[in-house]
Amino acid sequence: MTESTKSNIRSLIFNKLENLQRGPKTIKKFFPFTMEDLADDYEGCIEAIENFIESHKDKILDFEFESWVDEVTMTPVLMMKMYLVPSIALHLTNISFLNNLLPSSVESEIIREEITNIIAEYQGKFNDAQTRSHLANKLKFKLMADDILDKTSDEDIDNQKFTFVVVKNGKELELNEYLNQIAAQKRFE
| 149 Cβ contact list (under 8 Å, min separation 6) | 136, 164, 165, 167, 172
Q: Is the pLDDT of residue 156 over 90?
A: no
pLDDT tens digits, 94-109: 888 899 999 999 999 9
Q: What is the mean pLDDT of residues 45-51?
A: 98
Q: Among the ranges 53-57, 137-141, 142-146, 172-176, which has the highest mean pLDDT value? A: 53-57
99: left (phi over 0), alpha (psi -120 to 50) or beta: alpha
Strand partners of residue 182: none
Percentage of residues in the chain having pLDDT higher than 70: 100
* Contact (CB, 8 A) for 51 and 29: no
Domain ranges of the chain: 26-89, 96-184
Q: What is the mean pLDDT of residues 171-189?
A: 94
* Angstrom distances, CA of residue 106 to CA of 69, 98, 110, 113, 127: 34, 12, 6, 11, 31
